[in-house]
Structure 1
Amino acid sequence: MRALFPGSFDPVTPGHQDVLRRAALLFDEVVVCVMSNSDKTGRFPIAERLDRLRATATDLSNVTVDSHTGGLLVDYCRRAGIDVVIRGVRGVSDLDYEMPMARMNHELAEVETFFIASDPTLAHISSTLVTAMSQQHRVPE
C-alpha cells in the first residue's frame, strides 16, 4: 500500500524524521511530499527542503520525495494513486487540528488518514523551534 506523508517540512525536524522512519516500516511505499501554498512564504526554499528530506531518507529504500504546489492534497493523492495519508501528532491539539482535514479527505476522495503519535522525547520539537535554535547558533560570516 502506498502512503503519503505531506508537510511543509520547513525545516525537517527530528520528529518528522521519526514519523517517516516508522511509516516506512508500516507501508510498502511512502511518498514524503513538500506541500507548498503560493500564498505563504517559507523559511527555506522548496529545493532545500527536498534535499534535506532526501538526505533523511537515503537508507529507506521504500521512500520517495516529491513536492506539490497549489491544489488540494486529495488531488495529489488521486494523481499518484495514494489511499492513505500519514500525519504525525504530538498531542491533543494536533489531533483536534488534523481531524477535520482527515474527515474532508475521506469525504472528497476516500483517502484515509493514519495518525502516528510522536515519540514523547521529540514531541516538544517544532519547525519554529528548530529554526530559532539554528539561527542562534550560526557563526557570523
Structure 2
Amino acid sequence: MRALFPGSFDPVTPGHQDVLRRASLLFDEVVVCVMFNANKTGRFPVTERLERLRAAADGLGNVTVDSHTGGLLVDYCRGAGIDVVVRGVRDAKDLDYEMPMARMNHELAGVETFFLPADPALAHVSSSLVTAMGRHAGSDK
C-alpha cells in the first residue's frame, strides 16, 4: 500500500523524520511531499526543503520525495494512486486541526488518514520552534 506524508516541511524537524521513519516501516511505499499552503509563507525555498527531506529519507529504500504546487491533496493522491495520508500528531490540538481535513479527504476521494502519535521525546518540537532556535543560535546572550 502506498501512503502520502504531506507537509510544508518548513523546515524539516526531528519529529518529521521520526514520522517518516515509522511510516516507512508500516507501508510498502511512502511519498513524502512538500505541499503548498496558501495560508503559510515559506521560510525556506522549496529546493532546500526537498534536499532536507531527501537527507531525512536516506537509508529508507521505500521512500520517495516530491512536491505539489497546485490543487488539493486529494488531487495528488488520485494522480499518484495513493489511498492513505499519514499525519503525525503531537497533541489534542493537532488532532482537532487534522480531523476535519481527514473527514473531507475521505468524503472527496475515499482517502483515509493514518495518525501517528508523536514520540514523547519530540512532541514539543515544531517547525516554528526550530526556526526560532535557528535565528537565535548565533546571537549574543
Shorter-chain TM-score bucket reads over 0.9
For structure 1, which runs of at least 5 residues remain unmatched after alignment?
Answer: none
Q: What secondary structure is seen at the aligned counterpart in 2 of 1:43?
A: coil
Aligned to 1:75: 75
Aligned to 1:96: 96
Aligned to 1:24: 24
Q: CA deviation at 1:39?
A: 6.0
Cα distance in 2, alignment partners of residues 110 and 17 from structure 1: 27
Q: Following superposition of structure 1 onto structure 2, how do residues 100-139 of structure 1 map, counting pairs within 5 Å?
A: 100-138=100-138
Cα distance in 1, alignment partners of residues 137 and 40 from structure 2: 26
Cα distance in 1, alignment partners of residues 37 and 19 from structure 2: 23
TM-score, structure 2 normalization: 0.95
CA-based RMSD of the aligned residues comes to 1.4
TM-score, structure 1 normalization: 0.95
Q: Deviations over 1:54-81 (max 9, x none)?
A: 0011100000000001210000000000
Cα distance in 1, alignment partners of residues 36 and 45 from structure 2: 10
Q: CA deviation at 1:138?
A: 3.5
Q: What secondary structure is seen at the aligned counterpart in 1 of 2:35?
A: strand
Point out 4+ residue stretches in structure 1 off by more than 6 angstroms: none
Cα distance in 2, alignment partners of residues 39 and 101 from structure 1: 15
Aligned to 1:61: 61
Amino acid at match of 2:101: M
The number of residue pairs the alignment matches comes to 140
Percent of pairs identical after alignment?
Answer: 79
Task: Report the CA distance shift for 1:92/1:2 in structure 2 as closer, same or farther (over 3 A).
Answer: same
Q: CA deviation at 1:38?
A: 5.1
Cα distance in 1, alignment partners of residues 56 and 138 from structure 2: 22
Q: Does 1:45 pair with 2:45?
A: yes
